[in-house]
Structure 1
Amino acid sequence: MNTIKKTLTIALLGCSSLAISQTAQDKLKTQSINEIGLTVSSYKYTEPNLTDFAGTTMSVTMKAMNVGVEYLGTLALTDDWYLLGEADYNNGSVNYTGTGTINNIPQFYYNFKGAVGHDFAIDNFVLSPYLGVGYRFLSQSGGGMTGSSGSGFYDRQSTYNYIPIGVIHRMAVNDSKATLVTTLEYDYLISGNQYSGLSSVNGTKNGVTYAGVPNINNTQNSGYGVNLSVMYKEDVWGVGPYLKYWNISQSDTAYGNFTKNGVAYRGGVYEPANNTIEYGVKAIYRF
């Protein structure tokens, strides 16, 4: 009789342990929640192999300290499916180095993303892959600004349409009172457009007169991005580092007619291959 009692006790303890494990695992799955974040980051854009009109190869860089806001919303569905929506906005004046230098060029960008995903519980962690669509827009308002070499800047706008393919890893820390959330995402560029407001160079500068220089749009169809973040999250707040990277191939070439000191020319313009890296820290409020 005592042996039966002991066996029954062990069986009940085993069931209790299993229930606790299942509860902790369910907590790691995607929850319906909203998150608002503030970000501070270092931003660097580079054209590593730009060739000027004289055939000289040089590197162009633009650097900034960005401050941004971010919203992330998740909606848990049945059977471990979920929806994800994200929007972020970043602002910071850039300092240009290339054919001379220009400081404090106004710049901002924003990004929208929507995705659907599924949770997979594995032992003491959960993997949540997702697939969606994304849109990124960046604007620089440098039209009319003049650099140290006397060359003029112009307005630039970059538009990316992409497919985000990502996975979220969640694991418990501090006896399940908090979670460590790591997100890795690959962004496949579907299409891009680079607008260059070159008409701002029309007029006379340093004894040279340009007229009829058109604004140009270049198509970009090859490139990718990578996003990585590691967040420590409590019930109502979170904090952690993040990194964003874009690598975009050279665009097509667009042609236009203009005059230089009264002489007619036909020129081609393309957006050089470029990369952007941004890394910083994010703090979030969860509700």
Structure 2
Amino acid sequence: MQISLKPRMAWPMFGALVTATLSTQVMAAGQTELGISYSSIEYVEPGVMREEGNLFGFQGRFTNYGSTFVALEVDYAFGDMDYEGSGTLQDIPNNLFEMRALFGPRLYQSTRSQLHAYAGIGQRYLSDDSSGMKTSTRTTGYTREQYYWYIPVGLNWQRSLASGWEVALRAEYDYFIAGRNYSGIDEVCGGSSGVFTQEGGKGYRFALKFTMPVSDGGGSLAIEPYYRYWDIGDSDTDYISTPRCTGPGYGYYYEPQNTSEEAGIGIRWVF
């Protein structure tokens, strides 16, 4: 069994459509931010395995602070993770891609401050590729891919300071819609790969952004520490062919409950 191309393509295309639809409004009346990020991430399946490592990435932001808050956010990060479970394994290549579209009303405004509520749609994709690698106990790794689709709901507070600096604080709850996991078990066990669906979970994220002017032409630099957390429940169970790993040639498999914590910092140039 191979993972269907339809769900893997439909959501990225939907996200691209949202981005294309809103970007004209955002860029016309808002600000653009482009920059880099660095983060530390830990992924845990309690009682099963743990991975941790550091990611380097690129960030893009298009934001309009008006009577209606509109934001488009794209993050891409990559790095190596260290595994601990069936033995240990270092330097597993990982890629993390996330795309979000947010919008909502202004709840409060004063001379220097404003507060917006927002909701939107988000997609998160993670690949973890240990195919061909072996742990310290000679366990063979394989390809894993995760897709999350979720609804972010949060508050964004922004304040202009007399020095020309701006500070913004964001707190968010992520309502998990669904997840889809691809596991290349066939690379180790023969037979079929695994495709598992997850329906239960939640996430949180917090960010504190400082923006300071750095040129007479209006350019600014944004520095944003952030924290992101996911807690995802057990997936459905799939009965798949694994002739090299199970006596009868088939076995029951699922994606276990897991958590993911990421703490990092983004540094972006504001146009």
TM-score, normalisation: structure 2: 0.82
Tell me the amino acid that sits aligned with residue 83 of structure 1: V
Pair 1:256–1:128, CA change in 2 (3 A)? same
Tell me how far apart the structure 1 counterparts of residues 242 and 85 of structure 2 sit (CA, whole Å): 24
Q: Which residue, 236, 244, 253 being the options, matches 2:228?
A: 244
> Where does structure 1 lack aligned partners over 5 or more consecutive residues?
1-30, 51-59, 203-211
What are the within-5 Å matches in structure 2 for residues 180-259 of structure 1? 180-202=167-189, 212-235=190-213, 236-259=220-243
Is 1:48 the counterpart of 2:46? The answer is yes
| Divergent runs of 4+, >2 A | 120-125, 257-266
Tell me the amino acid that sits aligned with residue 266 of structure 1: Y
Describe the SS at the equivalent of 2:191: coil
Aligned to 1:96: 83
Tell me the amino acid that sits aligned with residue 231 of structure 2: N
Q: Percent identity?
A: 30
Aligned to 1:162: 150
Shift of 1:163: 0.4
Is the 2:188–2:244 contact (alpha carbons within 8 Å) kept by the matching residues of 1?
no
Tell me how far apart the structure 2 counterparts of residues 99 and 257 of structure 1 sit (CA, whole Å): 22
Is the 2:69–2:116 contact (alpha carbons within 8 Å) kept by the matching residues of 1?
no
What are the within-5 Å matches in structure 2 for residues 98-177 of structure 1? 98-123=85-110, 125-173=113-161, 175=162, 177=164
* 1:141-184: CA deviation from partner (whole Å, max 9, x where unpaired): 211211100111110000001101111111233x1511110111
Output the aligned Cα RMSD.
Answer: 1.7
Tell me the amino acid that sits aligned with residue 232 of structure 2: I
Pair 1:238–1:255, CA change in 2 (3 A)? same
What are the within-5 Å matches in structure 2 for residues 21-100 of structure 1? 32-50=30-48, 60-75=49-64, 80-100=67-87
Describe the SS at the equivalent of 1:271: coil
Pair 1:262–1:136, CA change in 2 (3 A)? closer
Tell me how far apart the structure 2 counterparts of residues 261 and 86 of structure 1 sit (CA, whole Å): 42
Shift of 1:262: 9.4
Is the 1:49–1:272 contact (alpha carbons within 8 Å) kept by the matching residues of 2?
no
Is the 1:38–1:282 contact (alpha carbons within 8 Å) kept by the matching residues of 2?
yes
Pair 1:265–1:177, CA change in 2 (3 A)? same
> Where does structure 2 lack aligned partners over 5 or more consecutive residues?
1-28, 214-219
Shift of 1:229: 0.7
TM-score, normalisation: structure 1: 0.78
